[in-house]
């Protein structure tokens, strides 16, 4: 195997190969900017949850299983806001599944086509419009017992994106846990957070409808600057 080829795990034990990029000064500066932040940083913008709940009703029957496993039960569903060309909101937004389907590493930024869900959920646009470009963006709905096991996202360097999460329903202290390292995070409904998902984290839902939005923001100087400008200081 060539020295500049990295192997990443796919689903069902398969692997996906991609070429490593050279790390330039701009990339290092952007990484240092993110490292200057905490692992869990609230943003200034807030989502109008009343408006969101009215808008999302249109898609009540269109959620798809997210990363279904034949050997495990996991109560998770998803709706895609930005997906790959040719895909719709009804197609699974899993990065791992997309890599296996295409037999290559699919960059987060390739998920850049707005779906019907993106267009209809105007309540989310004040957050989405902060960033000049967006990548794979989707809603996750977990029923009781729905979970993500401890993991890191994009552990390789350089990263191709950073992550924003916003919690929209059923994410109160007794309803949903996001554990970052060994710490249970305090969640304000409707508040977006920059989350350092290079660190180990896991989630579990204790109710029938825990819904949050995940935004993978392409790792560019413009997007990092937009993030820094929108951090809520003094929290």
Note the pLDDT tens digit of each residue in 188-209.
Answer: 999 999 999 888 888 888 988 9
Structural domain contains residue 216: yes
In this structure, is residue 32 part of a structural domain?
no
Q: Could you identify the residue written with the tokens 């929209």?
A: 168
Residue 113 has pLDDT above 90, yes or no: yes
Task: State the average pLDDT for the chain.
Answer: 86
Identify the domain containing residue 139 by its residue range: 40-229
The count of domains in the chain is 1
- Residue 109 belongs to a domain with what CATH number? 2.60.120.330
Is 10 among the domain residues?
no
Q: Would you say residue 12 lies in a domain? A: no
Q: pLDDT tens digits for 89-109?
A: 999 888 888 888 889 989 899
Residue 97 in domain: yes
What is the reported pLDDT for 213? 97
- Check: CB of residue 225 under 8 Å from CB of residue 36: no
Measure Cα distances from 142 to 29, 41, 78, 120, 226 in Å: 36, 23, 9, 22, 30
pLDDT per position as a tens digit, 146-162:
878 777 776 666 788 99
Which residue reads 């709905």 in tokens? Answer: 141
When pLDDT is cut at 50, 70 and 90, the band that residue 14 belongs to is very low
Confidence of residue 13 (pLDDT cuts 50, 70, 90): very low
In percent, the amount of the chain with pLDDT more than 70 equals 85
Helices 25-35 and 221-229: angle between axes, nearest 10 degrees: 20
Q: Is 12 left (phi over 0), alpha (psi -120 to 50) or beta?
A: left
Is residue 61 exposed (0-12), middle (13-18) or buried (19+ Cβ within 10 Å)?
exposed
Q: Is residue 128 part of a domain?
A: yes
For residue 158, whether the previous peptide bond is cis, meaning omega lies within 30 degrees of 0, is yes
Domain-embedded: residue 106:
yes
Stated pTM of the model: 0.85
- The reply to whether 62 falls in a domain is yes
Looking at residue 155, its pLDDT comes to 61
């Amino acid at each position: 195997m060539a020295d500049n080829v990295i192997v990443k795990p796919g689903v069902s034990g398969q692997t996906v190969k991609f070429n490593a990029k050279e790390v330039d000064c701009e990339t290092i500066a952007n990484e240092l900017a993110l490292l200057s932040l905490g692992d869990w940083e609230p943003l200034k913008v807030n989502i109008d949850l009343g408006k969101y709940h009215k808008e999302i009703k249109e898609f009540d029957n269109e959620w798809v299983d997210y990363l279904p496993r034949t050997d495990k039960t996991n109560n998770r569903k998803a709706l895609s806001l930005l997906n790959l060309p040719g895909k719709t909101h009804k197609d699974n937004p899993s990065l791992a599944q997309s890599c296996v389907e295409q037999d290559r590493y699919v960059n987060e930024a390739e998920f850049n086509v707005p779906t019907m869900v993106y267009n209809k959920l105007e309540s989310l646009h004040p957050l989405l419009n902060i960033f000049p470009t967006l990548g794979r963006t989707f809603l996750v709905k977990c029923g009781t017992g729905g979970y993500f096991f401890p993991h890191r996202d994009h552990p390789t360097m350089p990263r191709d994106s950073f992550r924003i999460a916003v919690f929209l329903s059923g994410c109160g202290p007794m309803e949903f846990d996001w554990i970052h390292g060994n710490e249970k995070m305090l969640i304000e409904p409707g508040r977006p957070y920059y989350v350092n998902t290079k660190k180990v984290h896991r989630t579990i839902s204790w109710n029938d409808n825990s819904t949050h939005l995940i935004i993978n923001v392409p790792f560019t100087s413009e997007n990092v600057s937009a993030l820094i400008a929108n951090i809520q200081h003094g929290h």
